[in-house]
Structures are given as C-alpha cells and as structure tokens.
Chain A
Amino acid sequence: DVQVVESGGDLAQPGGSLRLSCEASGFSFRLYEMHWVRQAPGRGLEWVSSIGGDGGTLYYADSVRGRFTISRENARNSLYLQMTSLRAEDTAVYYCASVSGYADAFDIWGQGTVVTISS
C-alpha cells in the first residue's frame, strides 16, 4: 500500500527548533516531488514547502522562508522539515503529501504530526 507516516511533532518553545520526518512506502519515493502542508487549529490548509525528487528544487511559503528547511534522503525513503525560530503561529498539524501517477493533485497524505509552540 502507498503510505506516508509523519513523526517528530512535539511541544516546543517560541524561538526553538523541531525536525519533522515523513517515511514513505509503497511507491518509488525518489521519483516524486514531496510537500509539507499544515493546518492550524480550527483553520484551513496551508502549503508550507516542496522538494523535487532529486532534492534539487526547493520551494517555501513566505511565512516560513528562512526559518524552515526541507530535505529528503531517498535511500531511506524519507522527507524532513527542519523548523527553527519557531513562532506561536507555527502551531499546526503538519502533513506530508505527494502526487502519485494516478492524479495531478495531492492524493497521498499522511495522518499528520502535531506541532505546538508555546512557552
């Protein structure tokens, strides 16, 4: 089965750091662009960052650029999001998502990992 599983969410203090992970299985991970999407409590979906299959193309939302770094390790079928200088407004469920060969929109989603930024 095609699956992505996020981990690494936690409670952190403002100004702190966290590293999220997403482990993929059931598809040729290295061939797929991967994305992070977040959802603040009671709010809608917000795209955060994307990375190409070879890791060479990186995109960020303005709200996280300069603070978050997306990366991947294809040998481990894993995607990462290094989050620094965290703010209260980064509190959200963070989803790992991708586009399979069967659609041209996000048809692969993880269950999400919860990040809470509070002192």
Chain B
Amino acid sequence: EIVMTQSPATLSVSPGERATLSCRASQSVNTNLAWYQQRPGQAPRLVIYGASTRATGIPARFSGSGSGTEFTLTISRLRSEDFAVYYCQQYNNWPPLTFGGGTKVEIQ
C-alpha cells in the first residue's frame, strides 16, 4: 500500500497571500496524483489531477507540481472560499486508492 503524507496539518494564511501544501508518497506514483478541496459540510471537489492539470472550473490561482514522490499544491492570492481542507490522493498503484491525511488551510 502506498502511504500518502501531507504537511503541514494546518496552514494559517492571510487572505491575498500564497499557500503552499506538500504531499509525499511512500513510493513513486509518477504523476498519478490528485488534489481535492473539501469545505465544511460539503463533498470533496477535484482541484488538480495528473499532478498539475486543473480540473474543470478551477481558477488559475491553483497550481500543482511534482512527480514521483514529492508534490506541491500552490494557491496564490488566497480568497475566502479557498479556506478549506485539501487532500492528495494517488491512483498510480491500486487497490487500495490512498489519500493523504489532509491539510487544513485556515485564516490567519
């Protein structure tokens, strides 16, 4: 099983600033890595797939990078609606499909 580790667990950022979230895989997942946003009380929403491709309707301030075992989600110029929990997920080698533990982006 591929273990996904996200850091930090909580990220405090001011609106308008940049947030950088990290995700590490226990073995290479190539670029088969997705990021999801989950707001309180809502279902997850796909943000990035293929490590760097924005999903439909996702604004350009969201960007993903990385390959192999190290990945980054960057949110530039944070807006109020971006404060949420973000999960990474690998789909390179499954079952099982595995998610990271999440990073909560909160208002500083």
Contact = CB atoms under 8 A, between A and B. Distances in A.
Interface of A: 35, 37, 44-47, 50, 59-62, 95, 102-107, 109-112
Given A103-B56, A105-B49, A45 B36 contact: yes
Interface string B88-103: 0101001111111110
Contacts of A44: 87, 99-102
A106 B46 contact: yes
Contacts of A103: 46, 49, 53, 55-56
Contacts of B44: 37, 45, 95, 106, 109
A68 to B, nearest CB: 13
Given A45-B44, A105-B34, A106-B44, A62 B91 contact: no
B99 A45 contact: yes
Q: State the main secondary structure of chain B at its contact with A.
A: loop
B43 interface: yes
Contacts, number: 65
A47 B43 CA distance: 14
Nearest to B34: A105
Nearest to B98: A47
A47 B100 CA distance: 11
Nearest to B46: A107
Given A95-B44, A106-B34, A107-B56, A47 B50 contact: no
Nearest to B4: A44
Contact of A112 (B43, B53, B95, B99): B43
B39 interface: no
22 contacts: A44-B100, A45-B44, A45-B87, A46-B99, A47-B97, A61-B95, A61-B96, A62-B96, A103-B53, A103-B56, A104-B32, A104-B49, A105-B34, A105-B46, A105-B49, A105-B55, A105-B89, A105-B91, A107-B46, A107-B55, A109-B43, A110-B43
Given A45-B44, A109-B43, A50 B95 contact: yes
B45 interface: yes
A26 B94 CA distance: 27
A105 B51 CA distance: 10
